[in-house]
Structure 1
Amino acid sequence: MPETVDSQTKTSQQPPAPRLRIGFLLAPRFTLSAFANFMDVLRLAADDGDGSRQLRCRWSVLSADMAPVQSSCGLRIEPDERLGDPSRFDYIIVVGGLIDSGAGLSLEQNAFLQRAATAKVHLGGLCTGMFALARLGLMDGYRCCVSWFHHQDFLAEFEKMRPVSDQIFVVDRDRLSCSGGVSAAHLAAFLVDRHLGRAAARKSLSILMIDEPMTGDRPQPGLPLELNARDPLVRRALLSMQQNLHAPLPIARIARDLGVGRRKLERHFNADLGIPPADASIRIRLAQARMLLARTDRTVTRIAEETGFCDASHLIRVFRETEGTTPDLWRQERALDMDGAEPEAAPA
């Protein structure tokens, strides 16, 4: 009889099964920061304090051959276990990295992802991890988040897909994606909140010195803008304009993509920036044109093509209205100013 009691006591003392189980596939030359940000949120939520025990969460780096995987910065990660049955995880997350690094995921890893999709395991991609899922057709019919930096790279490879590059992460049913960097921490916090509760998510972010969780529709930090918008809707519209410099979208199309009417978008622009969206688009394209004039020797005709003006004459006219001179004269005057600048004094 005492043995039965001891057996029951041991059983009652066993820790409960983890409520969140995640397997990672690391692509060759993966981005270490995206992986580390995601992982740190998990480990801090998994245990009391920062003990890092896999109690409430469990995670493993998966591999077909158990060989170390080199990150884009050169550091290597040792896998934890072989691929096996994907259904032992709630989520399989692919961590991408350099898209021109040559080899992608292995045949075994691709087959594993296909089995995971068949088993209804949720799939996700960090940084360029979405490229691997899209190549397998696993993102067909889903919205996916891609960094603004890789927006054109994604379109070049997947012409029929429209990546979301004005949000930090996207959750579409059983697919998750984020733009990389710090946004990986916010996606992980979203999952921790979903499975372990808001307190666990906030605890992880606080320890990581991140003020508060960000929702997926928070605009991505993009290229530097002359227009300093605070309104999230305006910022997302500005990012859309940046990402389509060579072929500007009609304002009505931008509004539709953002899920609002044109008049509402115009009201937000006037309230936040004091100008309509069309004027903001012109200012963004002119800023890019000035940068190209100052830093390259490209012709005005080519710069007009790259910045969405109808032709060189159109750029010259708009440029003169704004700057009071032509692009060529502006470039010459800037070159003279740089040549005539006095050299900095040498330190004493």
Structure 2
Amino acid sequence: MKKTIGIVLYPGFQVLGLAVSTVFEFANATIGRDEYAVTLVSEHGGSVPSSMGFGIDTAPLKGRKFHTLIVSGDSDGTPQAGGVTQYVRHALRSAERVAATCTGAFVLAEAGLLDGRRATTHWHFACTLQRDYPNVKVEEDRIFIVDGPIWTSAGATAGIDLALALVEHDLGAETARLVAKKLVVYHRRAGGQSQFSALLELDPKSDRVQTALSYAKSNLTARLSVEDLAEVAHLSPRQFSRVFREETGQSPARAIEHLRLEAARLMMESGRHPIEVIVRETGFGDRERMRRSFLRAYGQSPQAMRRLAAGSM
């Protein structure tokens, strides 16, 4: 049976939230049939102004039932949802799943659907969500979380990850992989993956340091000593260490450990790789060294991180 998807918009909705519709569009094209029927809806229907000011035509919510309801987010964390909240409050009477991208989680929280549940949202608004709705178990550093029939995601492109996870749940991992390939995105980041990137956090300024870090990220199985990285950056080891610390605030060794940790955690969360393979592919050298790094960075062992990731699906 065709799955009806209702994407809820309200004044000021974030334009990027519409990207989730493309995931379902490409899923239909990939399997050669209309598995999904997507409808953009709002409280009263008609044109709804986006965060950029232009309007998007919508159908009215009243009287409509959907297999999956997805509430979009906005850019400032104050969704002007109006009567949408009342509709969402009773959505699970007919919908199999209710989801929210970005600050759409505030609408779900206001409707009471997140009480006692784990949820996430854009990291910038996570503390506000927890403060305003103390009965919600907010996990701010997650790409998306599934708690029963409720799905929530972080902001921006994380909605695409959530939509790909929905497709994977419905049609299998291979279909989701092919959709991701068409979208030219990573094949669905694990739900438990951090919202932050080690390279983004380092934020190097010069091309030389950026080149060295990009080399390191692509060659984690190598030794990646200061001498190795300095050679890639065409600097002396002493110059490289000084410039690296000035630009990133970290030593090269600490930065490389963060890159290894990020890669190891991603492999761990996918659940498909044995520990020994992860140790080898990320350059940790041995299990104990990786375990100590995980405990320092995350306060949990690799195995605990894997169990946590499994729980977010």
Q: Does 1:31 find its partner at 2:14?
A: yes
- Deviation of 1:157 after TM superposition, in Å, equals 1.7
What's the secondary structure of 1:78's corresponding residue?
strand
Distance 2:298 2:100 in 1: 34
- Deviation of 1:125 after TM superposition, in Å, equals 0.5
Partner of 1:213: 188
Q: Does 1:182 find its partner at 2:165?
A: no
Distance 1:157 1:267 in 2: 41
**Alpha carbons 1:46, 1:55 under 8 Å: kept:** yes
More deviation, 67-76/135-144: 67-76
Partner of 1:76: 55
Larger Rg: 1
Query: What are the ranges of 5 or more consecutive residues in structure 1 without an aligned counterpart?
Result: 1-16, 237-265, 280-348
Deviations 1:261-298 (A, max 9, x none): xxxxx9646447xx94599xxxxxxxxxxxxxxxxxxx
What one-letter code is carried by the residue in structure 1 that aligns with 2:67?
A: D
What one-letter code is carried by the residue in structure 1 that aligns with 2:22?
A: D
Which of 224, 231, 238 lines up with 2:261 in the alignment? 231
Distance 1:117 1:176 in 2: 12
Partner of 2:72: 95
Query: What are the ranges of 5 or more consecutive residues in structure 2 without an aligned counterpart?
Result: 203-249, 267-287, 300-313
Q: TM-score, normalised by structure 1?
A: 0.57
Report the count of equivalent residues. Answer: 224
Gap change, CA 1:210 and 1:152, over 3 Å in 2 = same
Distance 2:85 2:123 in 1: 26
**Alpha carbons 2:4, 2:37 under 8 Å: kept:** yes
Partner of 1:114: 89
Q: Does 1:42 find its partner at 2:24?
A: yes
**Alpha carbons 2:67, 2:95 under 8 Å: kept:** no
- Deviation of 1:184 after TM superposition, in Å, equals 1.2
What one-letter code is carried by the residue in structure 1 that aligns with 2:68?
A: Y
Distance 1:115 1:278 in 2: 38
- Deviation of 1:211 after TM superposition, in Å, equals 3.4
Q: Does 1:104 find its partner at 2:134?
A: no
Deviations 1:198-221 (A, max 9, x none): 232122111111132222112112
The share of aligned pairs that are identical, in percent, is 25
Distance 1:97 1:44 in 2: 24
Distance 1:100 1:175 in 2: 20
What one-letter code is carried by the residue in structure 1 that aligns with 2:23?
A: V
**Alpha carbons 1:30, 1:72 under 8 Å: kept:** yes
Q: TM-score, normalised by structure 2?
A: 0.63
Partner of 2:124: 149
**Alpha carbons 1:30, 1:96 under 8 Å: kept:** yes
Q: CA RMSD in A?
A: 3.1
